[in-house]
Amino acid sequence: MGIVHLCGLGRNPGAVTVGLSYIYHNWGEFGRYGRPVEKVIILTSREIAEGYVKAGEVVYNHYGRGHPKGIKFRKSDNALEIVREFIEREFGDVEIWRLILDVNDFSQCVEYISKTVLYFHSEGGHWKHIWANITGGTNPLNSAIVMVAHLSGAITMLYYTFISKREYFKYLNPFTDNKNEFDFRRYYIFKTDLDRRYIAIMEVLNEVESIKTENLLSRLKKTYWNEFNEFDEGKLRKYLITMIGVNHHKDCDTIMINDMGRKINSLLNMKWLKALTGLEKTSKNEIEDMKKEIGLEKIYP
């Protein structure tokens, strides 16, 4: 039993290792959570994972100081290899997993991270504690992590390491106790539910070429009475305002779903999203298939 860490990785290995090191050194063995670092899942691009893009400058420093230990890495130009070797040396027997994805494709990031969370949260029937490090990686990747955290409730903590100057990015361990130069920061996550009214509207709009507001309300009341029984046309129009341009177009009082709306509707009907949000149950075999589909693999030990 312990904490599973999701970590985005770019050129700087310290974006992953510094946070793990801080947790390991400051909190020791958690009574409620077990090992502070039980598994680490690295989310990264193929270019980083396979070393096409070389790691930035790296200093394997003593904890709390900027002095190097004088230890060389076997593959010092590969960021993923540096992280793997650091974890092995610092923490010992910790599982390391790799997930390669397009870190600039938000939709793929949401899907792959969701399937990863489903796998580890329910692994072997044990509900794992999952924390996510949002220090490294791209904006689409970290935005996807935050979205999955809210939708699933399975990622219970977000954290990142504040480092004041780029010249300090090279360190693999925390390098000072001066909070103006380095700080470890945590953010709690609250689970959110998908809006059933929103889902219902998207489903109806996806079924028609165009529809008047009054006809949309009639169909919604017929099929989704509990959600819309108190709605009149005025209230529905107000609800639809925030969806204009993003989910649908509006020509006078005629509503037509747009391309983004169709993409969102397709996403809302994905089995993995319904499983993530608790709308549907998913078997262990189905979750195992999801793991294989995205290429999630253990690389150590």
Domain spans of the chain? 2-188, 196-267
Q: Give residue 31's pLDDT.
A: 57
Does residue 269 have a pLDDT over 80? yes
Q: Which residue has the tokens 């070393």?
A: 51
pTM of model > 0.85:
yes
Residue 127 pLDDT: 59
Query: CB-hemisphere CA count at 13 Å for 89?
Result: 17
Residue 11 DSSP class: S
Alpha carbons 197 and 267: distance in angstroms, whole number: 16
First to last CA, the chain: 17
Is the confidence at residue 141, as pLDDT, over 50?
A: yes
Tell me the pLDDT tens digit for each residue of 79-132: 999 999 999 999 988 999 999 999 999 999 999 999 999 999 875 445 578 999
Residue 32: how many other CB atoms lie within 10 Å: 6
pLDDT at residue 207, rounded to an integer: 94
Q: What CA–CA distance (Å, rounded) separates 24 from 14?
A: 15
Cα dihedral 83, 89, 92, 95, rounded to 10, equals 20
Same fold, 2-188 and 196-267: no
* pLDDT above 70: percentage of residues in the chain: 95
Flag whether pLDDT at 30 surpasses 60. no
**Is CATH 3.30.460.80 what the domain over 196-267 is classified as, yes or no?**
no
CA gyration radius for the chain? 23
Check: CB of residue 297 under 8 Å from CB of residue 97: yes
Q: Give the DSSP letter of residue 50.
A: T
> What CATH architecture applies to the domain 2-188?
3-Layer(aba) Sandwich (3.40)
What pLDDT score was predicted for residue 250? Answer: 75
